[in-house]
Structure 1
Amino acid sequence: MNDHLVKKRLGYAMVLGSLAALGPLCTDLYLPALPDLASELATTTATSQLSLTAGLLGLGAGQLIFGPLSDRLGRMRPLLFSLALLLAASIWCAVAPTIDQLIVARLLQGLAGAGGAVLSRAIARDLYNGHDLTKFFALLMLVNGLAPIVAPVVGGGLLSFLSWRGIFGALAIIAVLLFILSAGKLHETLPAQRRSHGGVAAMAKSLAALLHHRQFMGLCLTQGFILAGMFAYIGASPFVLQQIYHLSPQMFSLCFALNGVGLVFAAQISTRLSLMWGELALVKIGLAIAAVASLLLVIAAAMHAPLIALLIPLFFSVITIGIIGPNAGSLAMQSQGKNAGSASALLGVCMFALGAASVPLTGLGGTSALSMAVTICGCFFIAIVIFVLLARPAFARQS
């Protein structure tokens, strides 16, 4: 491979990897600023968390919008539109005078962020196949794993010299840079003759078939509720660790990063172990660890335990997400053939919709360590029940 082609591939990797990180950036960059945001806008913790919920809803809905749209119109026009929308929404977030306006702006910001995430995968599929595609997807997965770790740390650093409005201003600058890079480095990868003409009806029919697939839906909902527990942690932890345990935004970011590193390592280790034991065994092991860790988290929170006694079961609750999520998602996708695109969209929508529902639950009656722990534990145990009732019987019939 000549130097020009290597540099071209590296340029694509940098741009597409940055686009893949838009979802986590939109969700996690402003997390350390949530308490300040609630104070300045004179709103409650639960109401301020609705800004996170709105962003998650946008990220979920956007996958159903930009994916099919790009199959019909090509990749570049929807991509550039999503980045322009991200710029406008970020500016609106930065200047929003009320929490109501911020929530609407966050919904649009989530929609825009979903465009970058979905289209980065679509463009990669257009460009590569075989082992090259596998390696490129591995890069995108690494970015998606590291971005949630880095974003709160960067957000905490920005808060040392910017307000929460400045963080949304930084996201606006990121949108401009990605628009310039995408327009300059990328090109249309879906020729007109390969574009879809099925329309909304064809996609709706495909999604309806998936909803009646017992094994797929069991795994989809298992993964969705496990990740809903993660979003409950994401939404509540800034208030619990900063307001109740009095950590600085920078120390909170470091704690968040430590849990994120554990999640990434757990995902990498479980991927290797799945080659020996199989994905189904790893899902079962992960669910068992999730049950024990989340119960210990509830006990620690109920006893108003010292910070370290709370952080240890919280750490293990978070890393189980790295075990269950990838393996349940992989099994779900393996059960599908020609419906892989719709299956991927439904997995994403389920994850973000359930995550959006779990976040405000932690703020009912005032966010506390106990409300966070109970919500995480509840999500995990619903996932276990769904797996036992839906997914496991389907696998038993196959054996």
Structure 2
Amino acid sequence: MTNPPPPQVRSPRYVPGIKYILMLGALAALPAVTTDMYLPSLPVVAEDLRASQAAVQFTLSGMLLGGGVGQLVIGPLSDRFGRRLPLIIGITMHVVISLLCSIAPDIGTLIVLRVLQGFFNAAAAVVAIAVIRDRFVGSDAARLLSRLMLVIGVAPLFAPTMGQAIAGIWHWRAVFYALALIGVLLVLIVWRFMPETLPSERRRSGHVRNVTAGYWQLLRDRRFMSLAVIPGLGLGVIMSYVVGSPFVFQEQYGLSQGQFALIFALNGVALVLSAQVNATLVRKIAPAKLLRTAAVAQLVFALVLVAVAATGFGGVIGLLAALWLVLGTQGMIPANASVLALNSYGQMAGTAAAVIGALQSGVAGIVSPLVGVLGGDALSMSVVMIGAVVLTVVVLLLGTPVFRRDGWRAFEVPDERAATPA
């Protein structure tokens, strides 16, 4: 089932400024920052709370689980009550739970709190995407999402360093004080600078039957679900690299921690740069065309990556070059897929964004552990990455018209301006 694009009401074109982009980017990056600032403290947390490595790692995976559920709940609430109220409540709860995490007496309590933290700060990611759909469609939305990638991509690169510095100077519990402070600042910024983008006349009923019907409508739409799962497969590509690369570069290739940090930063630059290239290209090229081209290019680069990992050709430099290309093309895929998925669902953007976000958490959570299961070396990492890339191409081929002749036209909308005036 494929819904035709809803009629668009002409409104003045809104051109987002740098402050607006930074605000939405900071909101979208909050879950990632909450995870990454805490990463360096895991060994100390295990020692301090007398917990096993598996139990401490579940404070991360539990947060992802809570985030996936939270998006499914908060998305419809933002369609019912508007964007600001669920967002402010969600971030406020993030602040409260961060403070509770800082005094957690045992690992069981910390796990429960982290699951709840993931649930509530999911509001930031869901609302950031829904706000974009409230005001933009098509290439305008894809361009803004690509600009957001600059903030979303850079923030997690610095978060582990910040977390390590804070824990080193004070204690791992101080990391949660910092996360609480970030939440307070975001609440103040949203309260002062973010207007409501969903007027009351466009809000949906919050009755459970209507929420269920909304999700059922999305699940029955093959095109939407195909596009919605692609950002999750893309995150699976990235997370496979994230969980595998420390062992590949430091244990298999013998690089130092400093050298690995430099490599990690270089690959992060690849993601950010390609997202900015995408933001420029969507001015002239349809998002569906860019998505198709990037998916095919990434498949070619992933094949090269597997060949390099299997043969050892080029050593660490060859592997790094192939990884850089695979991750670089990744920056052009999620924004375009998300925009195309949301095109037909402006009237329930929060619910649709929640499905995309939940699929991201779920699919990435399933894909990334496979690296360790298969052996944890360069070949294992590369095989898992190419598996996710192949699935992306197959899903696009079978579930969408992007590979058909002029299939990109199926995603055109009558007017690429959102229904909400600036």
TM-score normalized with structure 1 length = 0.78
CA 1:225–1:13 in structure 2 vs 1: closer, same or farther (change >3 Å)?
closer
Which of 143, 148, 152 is the matching residue for 1:147?
A: 152
Task: Please tell me whether the aligned partners of residues 74 and 189 of structure 1 are also in contact (alpha carbons under 8 angstroms).
Answer: yes
Q: Distance in 1 between matches of 2:273 and 2:231?
A: 18
Q: Does 1:18 align with 2:26?
A: yes
Q: Distance in 2 between matches of 1:77 and 1:341?
A: 13
Structure 2 SS opposite 1:362 = helix
Q: Residues 22-37 of structure 1 correspond to what in structure 2 (within 5 A)?
A: 22-31=30-39
Aligned to 2:381: 372
Structure 2 SS opposite 1:162 = helix
Q: Does 1:309 align with 2:314?
A: no
Aligned to 1:382: 391
Amino acid at match of 1:152: L
How high is the sequence identity, in percent, across the aligned residues? Answer: 37
Structure 1 residue 354, shift from structure 2 partner: 0.6
Q: Does 1:110 align with 2:118?
A: yes
Report how many aligned residue pairs link the two structures: 386
Structure 2 SS opposite 1:21 = helix
Work out which structure has the larger RCO, using CA pairs closer than 8 Å and 6 or more positions apart in sequence: 2
Structure 2 SS opposite 1:159 = helix
Which of 317, 340, 345 is the matching residue for 1:331?
A: 340
Q: Does 1:221 align with 2:226?
A: no
Which of 318, 321, 335 is the matching residue for 2:327?
A: 318
Q: Show structure 1 runs of 5+ residues with no match.
A: 1-8
Task: Please tell me whether the aligned partners of residues 31 and 235 of structure 1 are also in contact (alpha carbons under 8 angstroms).
Answer: no
Instruction: Select between 176-185 and 230-239 the one with higher mean Cα deviation.
Output: 176-185
CA 1:97–1:235 in structure 2 vs 1: closer, same or farther (change >3 Å)?
farther
Q: Distance in 1 between matches of 2:276 and 2:152?
A: 16
Note the alpha carbon deviations across 1:178-215, whole angstroms, 9 max, x for none. 34444566677767676543423223212222222232
CA 1:372–1:30 in structure 2 vs 1: closer, same or farther (change >3 Å)?
farther
Aligned to 1:82: 90
Q: Does 1:283 align with 2:291?
A: yes
Structure 1 residue 261, shift from structure 2 partner: 2.0
Q: Does 1:362 align with 2:371?
A: yes
Q: Residues 141-180 of structure 1 correspond to what in structure 2 (within 5 A)?
A: 142-160=147-165, 162-163=167-168, 165-180=173-188
Task: Please tell me whether the aligned partners of residues 216 and 332 of structure 1 are also in contact (alpha carbons under 8 angstroms).
Answer: yes
Q: Distance in 1 between matches of 2:306 and 2:106?
A: 34
Instruction: Select between 65-74 and 92-101 the one with higher mean Cα deviation.
Output: 92-101
Q: Show structure 2 runs of 5+ residues with no match.
A: 1-16, 410-422
Structure 1 residue 349, shift from structure 2 partner: 1.9
Structure 1 residue 302, shift from structure 2 partner: 4.2
Instruction: Select between 227-236 and 159-168 the one with higher mean Cα deviation.
Output: 159-168
CA 1:191–1:379 in structure 2 vs 1: closer, same or farther (change >3 Å)?
closer
Q: Does 1:263 align with 2:263?
A: no
Task: Please tell me whether the aligned partners of residues 16 and 120 of structure 1 are also in contact (alpha carbons under 8 angstroms).
Answer: yes
Aligned to 2:14: none
Q: Distance in 1 between matches of 2:33 and 2:329?
A: 22
Aligned to 1:201: 209
Q: Does 1:70 align with 2:78?
A: yes
Note the alpha carbon deviations across 1:148-197, whole angstroms, 9 max, x for none. 32323342254246255543442122123334444566677767676543
CA 1:396–1:105 in structure 2 vs 1: closer, same or farther (change >3 Å)?
farther
Q: Distance in 1 between matches of 2:307 and 2:284?
A: 35
Structure 2 SS opposite 1:363 = helix
Q: Distance in 1 between matches of 2:127 and 2:209?
A: 21
Superposition CA RMSD, Å: 3.9
Task: Please tell me whether the aligned partners of residues 82 and 198 of structure 2 are also in contact (alpha carbons under 8 angstroms).
Answer: yes
Structure that is richer in helix per residue: 1
